[in-house]
C-alpha cells in the first residue's frame, strides 16, 4: 500500500554509516536519489566493525516474521555478491554449532527440527565428521552432535560498508565524516528541512534516515520522537595467528564464538563474558578470558596475540526487534535501527529505499514499523 503523502525526496540524509546506513544509501543512490551520508566517525568503523558478523536465520526463530525477514536478508546477500562482486567481504562457508551439556544440546536439536520444517537447510554431524570434513583444528568429542548450517556465512562488515559507500559516492552521493548531527530543523508540519552538524555546517534535506545504531534514540529526539532502546553491551576481541586462521567458518562452540577475520586473524565473542562487562573488569582482561575459552576449542589459538578489543553497545530497540520505515507523525523521517544489522543490512537497505522513493510499505516490514513505539 502507499503510505501518507508519498513524494520523491530531492535529498536524503542518511545518519550513521554502518552496514544498515550504507545499505540504505547505496540502494537510494542506485535509484538516482541525491544522498548525503553523515557519520561522526568513519564508515563501518563503529558497531559494524565490532560485531560477530554472522549472516543467519537459525538464531531468529522467536517470531516467524522475524525469521522470514532474516532469510530474506541471507538471499539479499547472495544477490549483492553477484551484483558488486564478493571481493574481501563475503564468506559463505556455513556455520557450526554444538553444546557441552544435555539441556543446551536438546534445545539446539529441537531448533534444528523446527528449522528443517521451515525448509531451512541443516545437517546433524558428529564431532569426528566435523574434523574430517570442515575444521581439522578443532578439539571436540567424536560423538557430539554438531549442527551444520550450509547456507549461513560471515561478512567483513567494514569492507562491505566501504564498498557500498564507494559505489554510492561514485554515483554522486556525498560523504560527510567526522561531524555529528547536532540538530534537525523541521518545517511546519514536521518534515525535515535542515540537518545541522557539529562542525557548524548545515545541510538542506527533504528526508532523513536514522541509521545511527546505538545513538539512534538521540537522533530520534531531534525530531521529538521517543525511540526506546535496550542497553546491551558486548565485547569482541581480534587475535592475530600468523599466516592463516586455523578455522574456516563461523563457530558457536560451548562458551565461545569464533570466526575467521581474514587470512591471519580471528574474532572472538561470548555472551557469558559479555555478562561480566558491568562488573568493572578491564576489557584487556575480558579479551584474555575470550582467548582462554577459545584455546579449549582451537588449541592453536592459545599462542595467538590479542590485537584489538572493543566494548560497544548493540543497537537494539526495546522489544528486541527492528524499527524500520516511515513514522506517521514526522513526514520525511525514517528509521533503520536493528540488532542483527549484519544479517539485515542489505535487505533493510533495499526495502527502505523502495519505501522512501515510492511511498509504498512492504508487508515484510509490517511487524517492525516504528509507530509501534509511539506514545
Q: What would the mean pLDDT of 367-372 be, rounded to a whole number?
A: 97
Do 15 and 192 touch, CB atoms closer than 8 A? no
| Lookup result for grid cell 548493540 | 314
Q: What is the pLDDT of residues 262-293, one digit of tens each?
A: 889 999 999 999 999 999 889 999 999 999 99
Q: What would the mean pLDDT of 113-125 be, rounded to a whole number?
A: 97
Domain with CATH 3.30.9.10 in the chain: 93-151+231-313
Q: What would the mean pLDDT of 199-209 be, rounded to a whole number?
A: 97
What is the residue-averaged pLDDT of the chain? Answer: 95
Q: Which fold has domain 93-151+231-313?
A: D-Amino Acid Oxidase; Chain A, domain 2 (3.30.9)
Q: What would the mean pLDDT of 103-120 be, rounded to a whole number?
A: 96
Please say if the pLDDT value at position 316 is more than 60.
yes
Please say if the pLDDT value at position 94 is more than 90.
yes
pLDDT band at 173 (very low <50, low <70, confident <90, very high): very high
At residue 210, the pLDDT reads 98
Q: What is the pLDDT of residues 22-39, one digit of tens each?
A: 999 999 999 999 999 999
Domain with CATH 3.50.50.60 in the chain: 11-50+157-230+318-373
d(CA 244, CA 265): 7
pLDDT band at 242 (very low <50, low <70, confident <90, very high): confident
Phi, psi (rounded to 5 degrees) for 83: -80, -40
At residue 180, the pLDDT reads 96
At residue 280, the pLDDT reads 87
* Nearest to 222, CA basis, from 192, 199, 250, 243: 192
d(CA 236, CA 115): 28
Please say if the pLDDT value at position 4 is more than 60.
no
Do 192 and 171 touch, CB atoms closer than 8 A? no
Please say if the pLDDT value at position 7 is more than 70.
no
At residue 5, the pLDDT reads 41
Please say if the pLDDT value at position 1 is more than 80.
no
Residue 142, class by beta-carbon neighbours within 10 Å (0-12 exposed, 13-18 middle, 19+ buried)? exposed
Pairing state between β 330-337 and 256-260: unpaired
Q: What would the mean pLDDT of 300-319 be, rounded to a whole number?
A: 95
Of the two residues 372 and 10, the one the predictor is more confident about is 372
At residue 6, the pLDDT reads 53
Q: What would the mean pLDDT of 106-128 be, rounded to a whole number?
A: 97
SS3 sequence, the chain? CECCCCCCCCEEEEECCCHHHHHHHHHHHHCCCEEEEEECCCCCCCHHHHCCCEECCCCCCCCHHHHHHHHHHHHHHHHHHHHHCCCCCEECCCEEECCCCHHHHHHHHHHHHHHHHCCCCCEEEEHHHHHHHCCCCCCCCCCCEEEEECCCEEECHHHHHHHHHHHHHHCCCEEEECCCEEEEEECCCCCEEEEEECCCCEEECCEEEECCHHHHHHHHHCCCCCCCECCCEEEEEEEECCCCCCCCCEEEECCEEEEECCCCEEEEECHHHHCCHHHCCCHHHHHHHHHHHHHHHCHHHHHCEEEEEEEEECCCECCCCCEEEEECCEEEEEEEECCCHHHHHHHHHHHHHHHHHHCECCHHHHHHCHHHHCC
Q: What would the mean pLDDT of 82-87 be, rounded to a whole number?
A: 94
pLDDT band at 305 (very low <50, low <70, confident <90, very high): very high
d(CA 333, CA 316): 19
CA-to-CA separations, 272 to 134, 288, 333, in angstroms, rounded: 26, 14, 37
At residue 262, the pLDDT reads 84
Please say if the pLDDT value at position 2 is more than 60.
no
Is the CATH code 3.50.50.60 the one for domain 11-50+157-230+318-373? yes
Of the two residues 11 and 1, the one the predictor is more confident about is 11
Q: What would the mean pLDDT of 93-112 be, rounded to a whole number?
A: 96
Q: What is the pLDDT of residues 212-233, one digit of tens each?
A: 999 999 999 999 999 999 989 9
Q: What would the mean pLDDT of 95-116 be, rounded to a whole number?
A: 96
Amino acid at each position: 500500500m502507499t503510505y501518507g503523502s508519498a513524494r520523491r525526496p530531492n535529498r536524503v540524509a542518511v545518519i550513521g554509516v554502518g552496514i544498515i546506513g550504507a545499505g540504505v544509501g547505496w540502494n537510494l543512490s542506485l535509484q538516482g536519489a541525491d544522498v548525503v551520508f553523515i557519520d561522526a566517525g568513519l564508515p563501518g568503523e563503529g558497531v559494524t566493525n565490532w560485531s560477530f558478523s554472522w549472516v543467519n536465520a537459525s538464531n531468529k526463530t522467536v517470531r516467524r516474521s522475524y525469521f522470514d525477514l532474516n532469510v530474506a536478508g541471507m538471499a539479499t546477500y547472495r544477490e549483492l555478491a553477484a551484483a558488486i562482486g564478493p571481493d574481501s567481504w563475503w564468506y559463505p562457508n556455513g556455520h557450526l554449532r554444538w553444546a557441552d551439556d544435555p539441556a543446551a544440546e536438546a534445545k539446539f536439536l529441537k531448533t534444528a527440527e523446527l528449522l528443517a520444517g521451515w525448509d531451512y537447510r541443516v545437517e546433524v554431524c558428529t564431532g569426528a565428521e566435523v574434523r574430517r570434513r570442515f575444521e581439522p583444528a578443532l578439539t571436540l568429542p567424536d560423538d557430539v552432535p554438531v549442527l551444520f548450517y550450509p547456507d549461513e556465512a560471515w561478512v567483513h562488515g567494514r569492507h562491505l560498508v566501504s564498498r557500498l559507500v564507494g559505489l554510492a559516492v561514485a554515483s554522486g552521493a556525498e560523504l560527510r565524516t567526522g561531524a555529528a548531527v547536532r540538530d534537525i530543523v523541521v518545517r511546519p508540519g514536521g518534515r525535515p528541512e535542515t540537518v545541522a552538524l557539529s562542525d557548524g555546517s548545515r545541510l538542506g534535506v527533504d528526508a532523513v534516515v536514522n541509521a545511527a545504531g546505538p545513538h539512534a534514540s538521540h537522533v530520534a529526539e531531534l525530531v521529538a520522537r521517543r525511540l526506546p532502546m535496550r542497553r546491551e553491551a558486548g565485547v569482541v576481541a581480534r587475535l592475530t595467528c600468523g599466516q592463516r586462521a586455523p578455522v574456516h567458518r563461523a563457530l558457536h562452540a560451548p562458551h565461545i564464538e569464533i570466526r575467521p577475520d581474514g587470512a591471519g586473524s580471528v574474532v572472538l565473542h561470548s555472551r557469558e563474558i559479555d555478562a561480566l562487562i558491568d562488573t568493572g573488569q578491564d576489557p584487556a582482561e575480558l579479551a584474555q578470558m575470550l582467548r582462554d575459552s577459545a584455546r579449549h576449542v582451537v588449541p592453536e589459538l592459545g599462542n595467538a596475540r590479542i590485537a584489538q578489543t572493543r566494548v560497544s553497545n548493540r543497537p537494539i530497540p526495546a522489544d528486541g526487534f527492528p524499527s524500520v520505515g516511515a513514522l506517521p507523525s514526522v513526514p520525511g523521517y525514517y528509521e533503520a535501527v536493528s540488532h542483527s544489522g549484519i544479517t539485515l543490512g542489505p535487505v533493510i537497505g533495499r526495502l527502505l529505499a523502495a519505501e522512501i522513493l515510492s511511498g509504498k510499505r512492504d508487508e515484510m516490514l509490517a511487524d517492525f514499523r516504528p509507530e509501534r513505539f509511539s506514545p
